[in-house]
Amino acid sequence: MAEINSDLLKIMECPVARVPLVQVGDWLYSTDAATRRKYPIRDGIPIMLVEESQEADPGEFERVMAETG
């Protein structure tokens, strides 16, 4: 797992909901409960393309937000 630089993570946002992101493992999760988007990190590079993202299921999203909140 490649840790995204904290200064970079502070300025990044979900391209769909325009909200902050949190990193869990090799994924960046949008903090927006309506969209629940997650973006992969490949070889240490965040892939912020909507077509490469996935929608987290509600249970996964709630767990991630509880862990990171």
pLDDT tens per residue across span 18-41: 999 999 999 999 999 999 999 999
pLDDT of 56 strictly over 90? yes
Phi then psi for 50, rounded to 5 degrees?
-60, -40
Across the chain, what does the average pLDDT equal?
Answer: 96
Pairing of strands 27-30, 54-55: unpaired
Residue-level pLDDT at 25? 96
Phi then psi for 39, rounded to 5 degrees?
-120, 135
Domains of the chain: 6-68 (2.20.25.10)
End-to-end Cα separation, the chain, in angstroms: 20
Q: How confident is the model at residue 1 (pLDDT cuts 50, 70, 90)?
A: confident
Count of residues in the chain: 69
Residue-level pLDDT at 2? 81
The beta strand positions in the chain, using DSSP E, are 21-24, 27-30, 37-42, 45-46, 54-55
